[in-house]
Amino acid sequence: METAAVRRSSGFAVKSSIFPASLANLIAQSIGGQNWECVEQSLDETGNAVLSGLLTPQQCRDLTALYTQDDRFRTRIVMARHGFGRGEYKYFAYPLPGLIDALRSALYPHLFPIVNRWNEQLRIDVRYPDTLHAFLKRCHAAGQTRPTPLMLRYGKGDYNCLHQDLYGDHVFPLQVAILLSRPGDDFTGGEFVMIENNADHQRADVVPLQQGDGVVFAVNQRPVKGKRTGMRKVGMRHGVSRLHSGQRHTVGLIFHDAH
Ligand SMILES: O=C(O)CCC(=O)C(=O)O
Ligand SMILES: [Fe+2]
């Protein structure tokens, strides 16, 4: 495993997903069971939305246990070394664990229509295909071949500076973070925070999450209705406030791969 923040790599072939049908069904239920109309409305209004109960407590514990299995990961980042905050994270290696692969593939079809509409509203030419497989092919053809799903681990005093997860020209405009730990029991503090950078005002959202909940949010920008004219872009960043105690694990699902 490497410890550099940036690494060039040779190509990966786009593999079809390889996870058991039972897992795919379980994930399809937890994702299909979301109220996607409400999710879309919340994304339009604020740039973020909660996906309740994406994972069971057992799935959260299983994923948390992966964190120490180094052969699952391609790169470890100690955040303080790069000025990213305090704490650490690891990018999964391909092939992704079945649960991560299943989640990323099953979330994508609910999200691409939303970001295609956003791009239309913002008069941005890019449109996203209807499967993750097709979108990853596009990333890989442009040299963005390294997997971006990651796990993060924070201890007491750790935090994640406000940032945007951009890894090349190809950007899927929404991403998902899933809380694996139990707020109040496993950790205190450590809130997921989003900031909106308007020219004339700045706005923060603290997104309340329980164990197994996800937050879907804008990677770098979202459309906002202008005062006079149509829609305009507003910049977004996300981060995590300082932990007061305990340990907090999350999974991050970014849909574009990295250079
Ligand atoms: O730990 C979190 O809640 C946020 C993680 C993050 O920055 C990400 O998933 O991109
Ligand atoms: Fe992030």
> Half-sphere exposure (CA, 13 Å, Cβ side) for 108?
20
**Residue 216: CB atoms within 10 Å:** 26
The single-letter DSSP state of residue 220 is S
Distance 254 CA to ligand 2 centre (A): 9
**Do 24 and 99 touch, CB atoms closer than 8 A?**
no
Instruction: Show the low-confidence residues of the chain (pLDDT under 70).
Output: 1-19
Q: What ipTM was estimated for this complex?
A: 0.99
Report the distance separating Cα 55 and Cα 98, nearest Å.
13
Residue located nearest, by CA, to atom 7 of ligand 1: 239
pLDDT of 3 reads 37
Report the distance separating Cα 136 and Cα 163, nearest Å.
23
Q: Which ligand is nearest to the CA of 91?
A: 1
pLDDT tens-digit series, residues 50-69: 999 999 999 999 999 999 99
Query: What token pair was written down for 90?
Result: 């690891």
The residue written with tokens 């100690």 in the block is 78
pLDDT of 18 reads 55
**Based on the number of CB atoms within 10 Å of its own CB, is 63 exposed (0-12), middle (13-18) or buried (19 or more)?**
buried
Residue located nearest, by CA, to atom 10 of ligand 1: 252
Protein residues within 5 Å, CB atom, of ion ligand 2: 165
Residue located nearest, by CA, to atom 9 of ligand 1: 252
Distance 127 CA to ligand 2 centre (A): 23
Integer angstrom CA distances of residue 93 from 126, 162, 179:
28, 25, 20
pLDDT of 54 reads 96
pLDDT of 11 reads 34
Distance 229 CA to ligand 1 centre (A): 34
Distance 228 CA to ligand 1 centre (A): 35
pLDDT of 251 reads 98
Report the distance separating Cα 76 and Cα 91, nearest Å.
7
**Do 104 and 131 touch, CB atoms closer than 8 A?**
no
Residue located nearest, by CA, to atom 6 of ligand 1: 252
Amino acid at 27: I
pLDDT of 4 reads 36
Which of 140, 149, 220, 213 shows the shortest CA–CA distance to 181? 213
50 CB within 6 A, ligand 1: no
pTM reported for the whole predicted model? 0.93
In the three-class reduction of DSSP (H, G, I as helix; E, B as strand; rest coil), residue 73 is classed as strand
160 CB within 6 A, ligand 1: yes
Q: Give yes or no for a cis peptide into 208 (omega within 30° of 0).
A: no
Residues in the chain: 259
Question: Number of H helices and number of E strands within the chain?
Answer: 6, 15
Residue located nearest, by CA, to atom 3 of ligand 1: 192
pLDDT tens-digit series, residues 107-126: 999 999 999 999 999 999 99
**Residue 215: CB atoms within 10 Å:** 22
- What structural domains does the chain harbor? 21-253 (2.60.120.620)
